[in-house]
Structure 1
Amino acid sequence: MKLKYTAAWVGFTAAAMVAVSACGSEGVKKAVDVADRTDAIMAALARATDRTEDLGSAEVKVSTATTGAAPISMEGTYSWGGGYAFDVEMDTKAAQMQQLQHAPTTRMLFVDGAYYYDVDPQPSGPLKGKEWMRIDASAVFGEKGAKAFNGAGGGSPAASMKGLKYAKNVEDLGKETVDGRSTTHYRARLDQAQLGKFKDAYGEKDTLSGAITGGASSMTMDVWVGGDNLPVRLKQEIGAMTVTMDFEKFGRTAVVKAPPAAETGDLTEVVKDATGKQ
Structure 2
Amino acid sequence: MRRRPLYGLAALAVGATLTLAGCSGGGGDAATDASPATSAATSAAGSTSAADGGAAQTTALTADDFAERIAAAQKEKKSVQLAMTTTLAGQKVAVEGKVDLGGSTPAMDETMTIPGMSTMKVRAVDGIVYMNLGTLSKDKWIKVDPKDTTNPLASQFSGMIDGADPTQQVEALKGAIASVKQSGSPETVDGVEAQKYVVTVDTAKLGGALKSQLGSTGASLPKTITYTYWVDGDDLVRKVDADVSGAKVDMTFSHWGEPVTVTAPPAGDILPGGLDDLTSLTS
Residue 183, structure 1, aligned to residue 190, structure 2:
no
Q: 2:132 pairs with 103, 115, 118, which one?
A: 118
Q: Which residue of 2 aligns with 1:87?
A: 109
TM-score by length of 1: 0.66
Say if 1:108 and 1:152 are closer, same or farther in 2 by CA, change over 3 A: closer
C-alpha separation between the residues in 2 aligned to 1:236 and 1:272? Answer: 31
Alpha-carbon distance in structure 2 between the residues aligned to 1:200 and 1:63 = 20
Question: Is contact 1:138-1:145 (8 Å) kept?
Answer: no
Contact conserved, 1:80 with 1:253, CA < 8 A, in 2? Answer: no
Q: What is the letter of the counterpart of residue 98 of structure 2?
A: T
Displacement of 1:267: 4.5
CA distance in 2 between partners of 1:222 and 1:267 (Å): 37
Alignment check: 8 A CA contact 1:58 1:79 kept: yes
Distance in structure 1 (CA, Å) of the matches to 2:156 and 2:135: 31
- CA drift of 1:250 comes to 0.8
Match of 1:172 in 2: 182
Are the equivalent residues in 1 in contact too, given 2:82–2:254 (CA < 8 A)?
Answer: yes
1:77 Cα deviation from its structure 2 partner: 0.7
Q: Percent identity?
A: 23
Q: What TM-score do the two structures reach when normalised by structure 2?
A: 0.65
Instruction: State which structure, 1 or 2, has the greater radius of gyration over its C-alpha atoms.
Output: 1
Equivalent-residue separation in structure 1 for 2:168 and 2:240 (angstroms): 12
- 2:62, 2:180 within 8 Å by CA — same for their partners in 1? no
C-alpha change, 1:51 and 1:110, in structure 2 (3 Å) is same
Partner residue, 1:243: 249
Separation in structure 2 between the aligned mates of residue 117 and residue 163 of structure 1, nearest angstrom:
28
Alpha-carbon shift at residue 274 of structure 1 (Å): 10
**CA shift for structure 1 position 89:** 2.2
Matched, 1:216 2:230: no
Contact 1:202–1:215 (8 Å) recurs in 2 = no
SS at match of 2:142: strand
Report the alpha carbon displacement of residue 120 of structure 1 after superposing the two structures with TM: 4.8
Deviation at 1:233, TM superposition (A): 0.8
> What does residue range 1-278 of structure 1 map to in structure 2 within 5 Å?
3=3, 5=6, 6-7=9-10, 8-9=12-13, 10-11=16-17, 12=19, 40=62, 42-43=64-65, 46-69=68-91, 71-82=92-103, 83-91=105-113, 93-94=114-115, 96-98=116-118, 105-120=119-134, 127=137, 131-137=140-146, 146-153=157-164, 163-166=172-175, 167-177=177-187, 178-197=189-208, 198-203=210-215, 209-211=216-218, 214-217=219-222, 218-251=224-257, 254-265=260-271, 266-269=273-276
Number of positions where the alignment pairs a residue of Structure 1 with one of Structure 2: 232
The amino acid across from 1:109 in the alignment is R
Change in Cα spacing, 1:194 to 1:78, as seen in structure 2 (3 Å) is: same
| 8 A Cα contact 2:61 2:180, kept in partner | no
Unaligned runs of 5+ in 2: 25-58
Partners of 2:235 and 2:154 lie apart in 1 by 36
